[in-house]
């Protein structure tokens, strides 16, 4: 209920009210306000959702906390705005949020026509399909003629059309704005198939009446590199978000964890000393404190810790690291050095 009211209020402000643009830089405004305004999912387990205590949690939410820890040394200094797929871009464009951290795919048109800038990829994903086991289907190529539930305003809707057209298959789309309604439509049998990012399928399956009656098909029909985005035209803020992300990856690569970050400050390894601000002026040059990475890792852990806690083995989702492993472990996650 609380969530619905919040979303409704936000929706109104997206449609009607012009919230004043940034007067100074986003970093100055953020510091003056004392909070980071973070656009998150309305409720996607593992990524952005409110837990049983009503607290925001998830991999994307930990990025909001990491940015707040980087700027304020206080991960609680975040104002969360739950945004649907359709609401998310206007909210960022109209300066209602400072950063969008919400399972959003980095695409060319979002970088150009929408005027956004992606600060990196914090989850390499791809679009998949879920069906009821009882349908007896084990490949997406058997789905011709199916009714497919899909959310509007997403890359998902576009990829779906491309996939069926390029495989000469027919389908009946049921296009719905709110993902919770998409999920209930599928659960109630209105559609044979549910399609979204594979991460979202595993998250949605947990919320179905009988999760074990459904399978995620093996095909991935698209690349969905998900990551935090900011408005174009403010390189200083872009750097804050980008280097918070890179710091999380570099911390994992260098073995700096939430538990050992304090003692790692004594490390003789020059890369660790630069990362933790013991040497150099890297943090200050970016408008943050010298030891911003210490504050970030103390608050949320390194990237691997964030992953495992929210979507990996420490979570109900149990998603494998796969492409999200570090480059040094066969994955795609790679950060430039602090130099």
Ligand X SMILES: N[C@@H](CCC(=O)N[C@@H](CS)C(=O)NCC(=O)O)C(=O)O
**Interacting residue ranges for ligand X, rule: CB under 6 A:** 41-42, 44, 84-85, 103-105, 151, 154-156, 178-179, 196-197, 200, 224, 226
Q: How far is the CB of 177 from ligand X (least distance, A)?
A: 7
Report d(CA 178, CA 42) in Å as an integer: 9
Count Cβ atoms below 10 Å from residue 76 Cβ, excluding itself: 11
- For residue 193 the two structure tokens come to 């198939």
Give me the helix-helix angle, 292-300 and 59-72, nearest 10°. 150
For residue 132, list its beta bridge partners: 214
Report d(CA 216, CA 193) in Å as an integer: 10
Which CB sits closer to ligand X, 84 or 310? 84
Which CB sits closer to ligand X, 186 or 243? 186
Which CB sits closer to ligand X, 88 or 242? 88
Torsion angles phi and psi, residue 237, rounded to 5: -70, -40
The residue with its CB nearest to ligand X is 200
Which CB sits closer to ligand X, 201 or 286? 201
Which CB sits closer to ligand X, 126 or 331? 126
Nearest CA among 86, 84, 77 for reference residue 38: 77
**Burial status of residue 223 (CB atoms within 10 A of its CB: 0-12, 13-18, 19 or more):** middle
Specify whether the CB–CB gap between 276 and 46 falls below 8 A. Answer: no
Q: How far is the CB of 249 from ligand X (least distance, A)?
A: 21
Strands (DSSP E) found in 16-68: 36-40, 49-50, 56-57
Burial 28-47 (b: 16+ CB within 10 A, else e): ebbeeeebbbbbbbbbbbbb
Q: How far is the CB of 278 from ligand X (least distance, A)?
A: 38
Rounded to a whole number of angstroms, the distance between the first and last alpha carbons of the chain is 48
Which CB sits closer to ligand X, 10 or 300? 10
Which CB sits closer to ligand X, 101 or 151? 151
Q: How far is the CB of 316 from ligand X (least distance, A)?
A: 16
Specify whether the CB–CB gap between 304 and 62 falls below 8 A. Answer: no
Q: How far is the CB of 302 from ligand X (least distance, A)?
A: 24
Q: Which residue has the tokens 């003692």?
A: 263
Report d(CA 3, CA 26) in Å as an integer: 27
Which CB sits closer to ligand X, 59 or 264? 59
């Amino acid at each position: 209920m609380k969530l619905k009211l919040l979303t409704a209020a936000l929706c109104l402000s997206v449609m009607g009210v012009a919230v004043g643009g940034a007067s100074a830089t986003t970093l100055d405004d953020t510091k003056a306000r004392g909070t980071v305004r973070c656009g998150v999912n309305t409720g996607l387990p593992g990524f952005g959702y409110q837990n049983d205590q009503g607290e925001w949690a998830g991999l994307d939410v930990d990025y909001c906390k990491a940015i707040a820890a980087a700027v304020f040394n206080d991960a609680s200094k975040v104002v969360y705005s739950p945004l649907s797929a359709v609401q998310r871009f206007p909210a960022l464009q109209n300066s209602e949020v400072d950063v969008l951290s919400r399972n959003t795919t980095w695409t060319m048109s979002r970088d150009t026509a929408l005027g956004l800038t992606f600060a990196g990829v914090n989850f390499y994903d791809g679009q998949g399909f879920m069906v009821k086991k009882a349908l007896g289907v084990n490949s997406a190529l058997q789905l011709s003629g199916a009714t497919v539930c899909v959310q509007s305003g997403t890359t998902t809707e576009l990829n779906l059309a491309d996939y069926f057209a390029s495989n000469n298959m027919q389908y009946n789309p049921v296009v719905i704005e709110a993902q919770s309604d998409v999920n209930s439509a599928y659960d109630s049998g209105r559609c044979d198939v549910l399609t979204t990012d594979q991460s979202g399928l595993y998250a949605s399956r947990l919320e179905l009446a009988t999760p074990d009656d459904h399978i995620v098909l093996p095909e991935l029909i698209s690349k969905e590199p998900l990551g935090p985005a900011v408005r174009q035209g403010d390189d200083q803020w872009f750097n804050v978000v980008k280097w918070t992300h890179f710091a999380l990856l570099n911390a994992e690569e260098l073995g700096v964890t939430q538990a050992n970050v304090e003692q790692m400050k004594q490390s003789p390894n020059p890369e660790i000393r630069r990362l933790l601000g013991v040497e150099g002026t890297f943090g200050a040059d970016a408008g943050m404190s010298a030891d911003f990475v210490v504050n970030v890792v103390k608050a949320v852990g390194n990237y691997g810790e964030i992953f495992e806690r929210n979507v990996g083995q420490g979570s109900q989702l149990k998603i494998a690291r796969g492409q999200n492993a570090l480059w040094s472990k066969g994955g795609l996650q790679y950060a430039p050095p602090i130099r």
